[in-house]
């Protein structure tokens, strides 16, 4: 038992990253569904904590039933149907971001909770990139529909209120793009565009999944030391460091592995089943 793990009988709040943790290429293994339902039946609170916006979370991912979610990497928080946080890019930052992306003819999505907005001229290139990524899945490209079905070709993107941006292809490195946008923007690696393109996720500097967790547990009345966070990506660093127990998926970034209290197998091995049992959640 980890020194940071709470005593038996304590109600814990469990925060699960989606891609590469709870789901594999957008497909949730049955063992993970059963584990979530069993943990909730035992009295624990289980929430998704993802970089995806609500509009990119299909019923197939939500089917297990959750007590809430942290979406858009901390910019949106919902618990038991009540929206607690909904932070969008301020108008000036949004305008600078769209202008820089368009100046470089980037393939990108403006991610809002209601829909995903893409430049009309980039829609076909986006579909090709996403289909190519999800074709690597054992089940084929079924997980791509969660993204593509919510995409809206949007001409006037300067009026769209968005929480985060996924860049799938850009002629210049993300560092150059961030410099062009200027103050207030930050970038992490993108989990979809993984074949050598210049890609990343742009978000408001200073917002992270840890902020979303803090808002959720304040609402739930659960102490920080009684939280468990499980993830595998660059945008999981803050939440793994923040949680009472941080769990990294095996093969995650070295920086994530270095700060985690323990590890778990990936979704292809239904790793959350064993992890939930070891953590006393079942």
Q: Where do the CATH 3.40.50.1000 domains begin and end in the chain?
A: 13-86+208-278
Q: What is the mean pLDDT of each run of 10 residues along the chain (282 residues)?
A: 51 96 94 98 98 95 98 97 97 97 96 96 92 78 80 92 95 94 92 70 96 98 98 96 98 96 97 97 94
Q: What is the 3-state secondary structure (H, E, C) of the chain?
A: CCCCCCCCCCCCEEEECCECCCEECCECCHHHHHHHHHHHHCCCEEEEECCCCHHHCCHHHHCCCCCEEEEHHHCEEEECCEEEEECCCCHHHHHHHHHHHHHCCCEEEEECCCCEEECHHHHHHHHHHHHHHHCCCCCCHHHHHHHHCCEEECCCHHHCCCCEEEEEEECCCHHHHHHHHCCCEEEECCCCCCCCCEEEEEEECCCCHHHHHHHHHHHHCCCHHHEEEEECCHHHHHHHHHCCEEEEECCCCHHHHHHCCEEECCHHHCHHHHHHHHCCCC
Mean pLDDT, all residues of the chain: 92
pLDDT at 4: 42
pLDDT in tens, 37-75: 999 999 999 999 999 999 999 999 999 999 999 999 999
Task: Give the class (CATH, top level) of 13-86+208-278.
Answer: alpha beta
pLDDT at 147: 85
Task: Give the class (CATH, top level) of 91-204.
Answer: alpha beta
pLDDT at 56: 94
Q: Where do the CATH 3.30.1240.10 domains begin and end in the chain?
A: 91-204
pLDDT at 3: 35
pLDDT at 115: 94
């Amino acid at each position: 038992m980890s020194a940071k793990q709470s005593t038996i009988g304590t109600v814990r709040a469990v925060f699960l990253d989606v891609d590469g943790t709870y789901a594999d290429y957008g497909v949730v293994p049955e063992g993970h569904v059963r584990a979530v339902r069993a943990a909730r039946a035992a009295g624990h609170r289980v929430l998704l904590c993802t970089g995806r916006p609500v509009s990119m979370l299909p019923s197939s991912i939500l089917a297990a039933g959750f007590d809430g979610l942290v979406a858009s990497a901390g910019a949106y928080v919902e618990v038991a149907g009540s929206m607690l946080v909904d932070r969008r890019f301020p108008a000036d930052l949004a305008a600078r971001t769209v202008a820089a992306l368009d100046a470089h003819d980037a393939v990108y999505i403006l991610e809002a909770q209601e829909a995903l907005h893409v430049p009309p001229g980039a829609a076909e290139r986006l579909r090709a990139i996403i289909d190519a990524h999800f074709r690597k899945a054992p089940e084929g490209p079924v997980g791509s529909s969660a993204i593509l079905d919510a995409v809206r070709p949007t001409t006037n993107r300067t009026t769209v209120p968005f929480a985060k941006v996924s860049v799938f292809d850009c002629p210049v490195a993300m560092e150059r793009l961030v410099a062009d946008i200027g103050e207030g923007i930050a970038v992490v690696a993108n989990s979809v565009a993984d074949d050598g393109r210049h890609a990343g996720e742009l978000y408001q500097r200073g917002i992270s999944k840890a902020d979303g967790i803090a808002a959720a547990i304040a609402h739930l009345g659960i102490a920080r030391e009684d939280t468990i966070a499980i993830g595998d990506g660059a945008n999981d660093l803050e939440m793994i460091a923040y949680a009472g127990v941080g769990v990294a998926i095996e093969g995650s970034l070295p920086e994530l592995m270095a700060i985690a209290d323990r590890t778990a197998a990936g979704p292809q091995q239904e790793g959350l089943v064993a992890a939930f049992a070891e953590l006393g959640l079942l």
